Structures are given as C-alpha cells and as structure tokens.
Structure 1
Amino acid sequence: MLRRALSLLTLLTLGWSWSAATPVKTYIPGIRHEYQRFNNCGPVTVTMALSRWGSALNQYDSAPRLKNGPGDANVSPHELADYARAQGMSVHQGVAGNRFLLKRLLAAGLPVIVETWFLTADSGGMGHYRLLTGYDDAAGHFSALDSYLGPLKLPYDRFDELWRAYNRTYLVVVTPEKRPVLEQALLFHARPDVTKRAALRHALSDTERRGDAWAWWNLGHAKLALGDARGAARAFDAAYAAKPDLSQDPTRPARVSGGVPWRAGWYSFGPLEAYTRTGRFADVLRLTGEILRDVPAHEEALYWRGRALAGLGRAAEAQAAYRAALGLRPGYAAARQALGE
C-alpha cells in the first residue's frame, strides 16, 4: 500500500513538473475546420481531429457511420473513439481531466476532443464537442475549433464551467507511432483506475462546495463507474431534486421539473443504468419516455427502456424496444445481446 501511494505521489510530482515546463503559449497548425450540418458536432469534431494526421475524411464520411440519421441527437464519446480506431488510429478516452493535462497534450502537438455543455440563444443548453488546438496563458484561454461557431477562444474558467457537465471527459486521437508521445503527456491519467477515483474526488468536492445538479450528476456517474449502483442512484436523485439553474437551461419547457437540464439525459445514461441495476424500473420508463417524446430516434433510450420492461416481466414489449433500437443502429451490440437473452 505504501509503495502504491509513493508511486502515485511520484506520478503527481512528475505531472506538476511537466506542467510547469510547458510553454506559456502553443498552437497546433494544419487542422482543417468544418462547419456542421444538423446534429453533426460529433462526426465533424472527430474528423477535424483526424485531419491533424493527414486524413481527408469529413462529416459526410463519418456521420453515416456514427448516426442513424439527422434525428439522432447523440453520439457518445466511445462511439467517436471506435470510429477513430476503425481508421487505424490510437485513442485515449478519459475523465477527470484538468487544465494542466490539456496543456501537456497540446504542447506535445496533440489536439484534444472535449465534451462540453453548450448554450445558444435560440436552442438553449445541449451537449457539444469541441476540438482544442492550443492555449495562451497570458490571455488565459484555450484555442478551439467549434463546428457550430467556428474557430474561437475559450477563457479558462468559462471553459471549465462548461466542461464539468461531463466529468471533464476528453479524447485524444493519434497515429500508432505517436502513442508513446501521448502516454508521456498523460502520465497517471493513462490509468483508468486512478482517473475514476479522481472523478469521484472531484465530484464529492463539488457537491460539498456547490451542491448543484451538475455536481450530483457527476457524482452519480463517478460512483457508477466504480461499481456503486446504489450510491449512484442516490446521487442522481439529488441531481434531479436540485434547484434548476436557468442560466444552464434557458429554454427548458414548462413541463420539465427538477434541477437537471432538460436535454442532459439525451447524452448521458448513468441514471438509466443506475436505476435499472437497483430495480427502479418505473423510473427508467418515465425517463426514457421523456427522452423519446422529444427524440423518437434515440436508440440508447429504447435499449434502456427494453431493460426496464424486461425487469418488469414484460418480455414482448422489451423485445419490441430492443428491435426498435437495432432498427436505428444495427450494430448496437448491447441491444442485440439483450434481445438474444
């Protein structure tokens, strides 16, 4: 135990030294920007990242592989990672990132896909991917390519406020030859066990310090990642019960109650998994019904609805839900396995 603690302390010390050695400003050139079509931020952002390594793919190549059609509102980080790997790339997907890690990666010439909350005057809050391409400590901002807004600067504090909505999730896409460079920049962030516990610590701190819906939402996902479904369910309950922050959700419909922004469940499925694993099938049916009312072509909601129906012994309805999910995404392995069972 002492040896493990000392090893982690060494990694943390090395990480601090590395961050102190990064230049005060850096920018990665040669990355192609592309504006998105409807609901295409994921397909665009991953192909922008691939362009760093010479790829000519664009959203018209990636979207048919990543989405079931224009009505598909969500492409999860693991789907972006799988797509990049299918192009022969090496990918690191992590949580609990921080500014120092992002700077190390960018200083090493590695652009970073980040999942953030996004606000527009007409549509309100939603999930959104951006590609970080540089930073400037003197100006206090990251440089990013945004598929909706174009190239832009993200002030450090404002960026972190938007990034925390997804437990500071990030992806780095590199060629296999660049994998050693990536691992050197990641240091202890390359270890999933360490980053999962870091995400838990950050979320616990956030719930004590701020206690808002995002803090409890992140705590639920962090507990679920560590296998604590009951603790995760309690955290998600607290997220839904929190006071709404209309600055994060300015266009929420009047029918929506609770503290979680109304589109949050389109992109993150921790509550559905936690409630399913703890036998709260009625809650899963209620939440998936709300998602499907607004996004009928949502295969993940259909899958979790099938799980809840199966848990209630409604086998024929569960099979119909799984088949509907597979009709939207024929390669949906979890739905195919559940249907087979």
Structure 2
Amino acid sequence: MSLRSLSSSLLLACFSLAGAASSLPPSASVPGIRHEYQRLNNCGPVTVGMALSRWGGTLTQYQIAPVLKPNKGDVNVTPPELAAYARKQGLQAHLATNGSRALLKRLLAAGFPVIVETWFVTADSGGMGHYRLLTGYDDSKQKFTALDSYLGKLSFTYAELDELWRAFGRTYLVVSPPEQEETLRGLLGFRADPVLAKREALRVAVAEAGRKNDAVAWLNVGNARLALGDSRGATRAYDQAYASPANAALDPTRPARTAGGLPWRTLWYSFGPLEAYTRTGRTADVLRLTNAVLQDAPNHEEVLYWRGRALAVQGETAKAQAAYREALRIRPSFAAARAALAELNAGT
C-alpha cells in the first residue's frame, strides 16, 4: 500500500468512526462481570479472570495465577501473556497500543469490557504498573467506571485515566467469544489492521512528544518505532526518555541510585529499551539496566532474557546460558528463552 492510499484509508476510517461516536449513548455499563480482590502481584491473573467472567468464565486467580506465574516471585504478567491465556480458554483477544477515549466508549457501549494497563501510585510502594478492567462510562460526569483488583469498584475522569494509561502507550486488551469477531472488528475500524494501527500509534506518539516532551512521551515514541522495526529510531527516542527530568508524581519512592527520567520500575513492564539497545549493539547499557532491575526484582524472566541476549552478543556464552536457564526456571514455558538457550547450546 502506498503512503497516499494509506493516508486515505486512515482518513476514511476516521470519518466512519466519527459518525459512530456521535450515535453513542451518553452512558453505558457492561453487565455480568464478577469482581475479585487480588493476592500479592496477582492483578494480571485477577483482571483477565474478571474479563473472562463477562462471557461466562468462572476461573479465579487460584486457577489462573499458577499458569501465568508458576513462580510466585514473578512481579509482572505481560499483556501478551494475558492475551495468550484468554485464547487458550477459547476466546479471541485483541491486544494493541494507542487506544483512545472514543474507542473505549464504543467498546463499552457494545458490551465489551476493556483491560487497560495503567500506572498506579501508592504512598508506601510508589509507582508501578497495574491492570484495570473498564466496565462503563458516563458523559455527564466525564468518567469511566472500572473494576480494580486492589481497590474494588472505582471511577476515573476521562483525563485522569488517560494520564495513567499513557504511561503504557494506552495499551488495551479486549477478550470476547469467537462469534463476536465481526462485531469487534467493526468497532475497532482501522485498528483491526495491525499495520495501520502501528503507523497511527507512531503518529500519535510523535505528536504527543512534541507537546509534552517528557520521559513517558518519548518512551511511547520509542516503543512505536520499535514496533515498526526501526531499532535505531527507537534507541534515539529511548535516549531522550532517559534524558528527560524525572516526574516525582509518578515516582514518589524513587531510589537515589536511579538514573534517567523514567520511573524506576519502568523496565519491570516495558522491555523496549532493552531490545532496541541490544539490536543496536549497546550491550553495556543493557547489562547496566538489567542489573539495576534484578537488584529489586531478581525473579524477572524477561529482564533475564534480555540480559542473556546482551551477554551472548558480547561472547559471554556461559553467562548468557546461565541467564536463560534462570529465566526458564522462573517460567518454564518461556519460548524465546528456550530457543535462545538451544541456539547457544548448539554452537558450543
């Protein structure tokens, strides 16, 4: 597809969705969702279980968590892991970044709850990633309603949610039965096409970085460029994120040793900088960053994986193998770590 036809497709999609938005009800609430409070670090298993309950699911964290995080010390279940779990339950899962208020309202009005990945700040533990399940909206109050595995039922103004949501590039996950596929694709519009969606995510991220020029905005630019295969462009954006001033509101318990503008737990959840720096040969940066994460979260399999990748590039084969083995001890189903270890073993 040419750039001109790509732009035309996006423009037509935007006009179509603008018409759909004008016909939405002023409020909506998705019925039939079971709430559950989480155990430690179980917001991912609980939130996907709540989303499944909309479609008749009865599984709780006590069945889901042992599958998604066989090691109880695992501090993060990623959105792709949640999506893969939903698919194993026989449902379809649409996972993407660059969601919008209009999209959320369309989905909720049609009866689809939406998992959003957001930033979450507590006075004692500081800033961290946290999933919420959006269940409704009310234009008269300018608020979304949500089920939170830690806080229960709550609401956010549209602006409040967006500020917390953009910390993760406005990542959203919709799970639904296969028979709802056509309906869901219609609600997604151009976002149902992965290439169009990724290009639009980059456009939005670049525009926001131009307005805000903060660490989160540049992180989102880096992630959007990396998703399109531009590792060098992503690296430049990540460098700008680290060079930006730290935001104390997102990071009230930031350790003094933390370097750069991103919140200190960012790499617990977002691995784009590790991937881009590895792909562009900046392995010393990867080792420095992964070492900092592992001081606080030693059972972090994704960070161990990228540490192994950097060590392998440096020719530290034995250390790389050890990193991959540790990642697999934490999550035996970690396919990327298993493949990387097999490749190293084959070459020794």
Which of the five TM-score ranges fits, normalised by the shorter chain?
A: over 0.9
Amino acid in structure 2 at the alignment position of 1:340: A
Tell me the SS of whatever aligns to 2:182: helix
Q: Give 1:268's aligned residue.
A: 270
Identity of aligned residues (%): 62
1:252 aligned to which of 251, 254, 269: 254
CA drift of 1:198 comes to 1.5
Aligned residue runs from structure 1 range 137-152, under 5 A:
137-152=139-154
Aligned residue runs from structure 1 range 191-210, under 5 A:
191-210=193-212
Q: Give 1:334's aligned residue.
A: 336
Amino acid in structure 2 at the alignment position of 1:94: A
Aligned residue runs from structure 1 range 158-307, under 5 A:
158-307=160-309
Tell me the SS of whatever aligns to 2:119: strand
User: TM-score with structure 1 length normalisation?
Assistant: 0.98
CA drift of 1:68 comes to 3.1
How far apart, CA to CA, are the structure 2 residues paired with 1:265 and 1:295? 10
- Count of residues in Structure 1 that have an aligned counterpart in Structure 2: 341
Amino acid in structure 1 at the alignment position of 2:205: A
Change (3 A) 1:63 1:14: same
Tell me the SS of whatever aligns to 1:160: helix
How far apart, CA to CA, are the structure 2 residues paired with 1:246 and 1:49? 32
User: What whole-Å deviation, never above 9, does each CA across 1:211-242 have from its counterpart, x for those lacking one?
Assistant: 10001111110110011101111111111111
CA drift of 1:4 comes to 4.2
**Contact 2:6 2:196 (C-alpha < 8 Å) held by counterparts:** no
Q: Give 2:346's aligned residue.
A: none
CA drift of 1:310 comes to 0.3
Tell me the SS of whatever aligns to 1:266: helix
User: What whole-Å deviation, never above 9, does each CA across 1:26-50 have from its counterpart, x for those lacking one?
Assistant: 0011100001000000000000000
| Structure 2 runs not aligned, ≥5 long | 344-348
How far apart, CA to CA, are the structure 1 residues paired with 2:9 and 2:243? 40
User: What whole-Å deviation, never above 9, does each CA across 1:82-140 have from its counterpart, x for those lacking one?
Assistant: 00000000110111110000000001100000001111121110001000000000000
Tell me the SS of whatever aligns to 1:32: coil
**Contact 2:222 2:234 (C-alpha < 8 Å) held by counterparts:** yes
Deviation larger for 7-16 or 113-122: 7-16
How far apart, CA to CA, are the structure 1 residues paired with 2:224 and 2:325? 30
User: What whole-Å deviation, never above 9, does each CA across 1:131-154 have from its counterpart, x for those lacking one?
Assistant: 000000000000100001100011
How far apart, CA to CA, are the structure 1 residues paired with 2:102 and 2:174? 15
CA drift of 1:8 comes to 2.6
Aligned residue runs from structure 1 range 43-62, under 5 A:
43-62=45-64
User: What whole-Å deviation, never above 9, does each CA across 1:281-305 have from its counterpart, x for those lacking one?
Assistant: 1101011111111001000111101
How far apart, CA to CA, are the structure 1 residues paired with 2:95 and 2:246? 30
Q: Give 2:18's aligned residue.
A: 16
Q: Give 1:321's aligned residue.
A: 323
Aligned residue runs from structure 1 range 59-208, under 5 A:
59-208=61-210
CA drift of 1:7 comes to 3.0
User: TM-score with structure 2 length normalisation?
Assistant: 0.96
Change (3 A) 1:181 1:316: same
User: What whole-Å deviation, never above 9, does each CA across 1:44-64 have from its counterpart, x for those lacking one?
Assistant: 000000000011101111101
How far apart, CA to CA, are the structure 1 residues paired with 2:271 and 2:9? 34
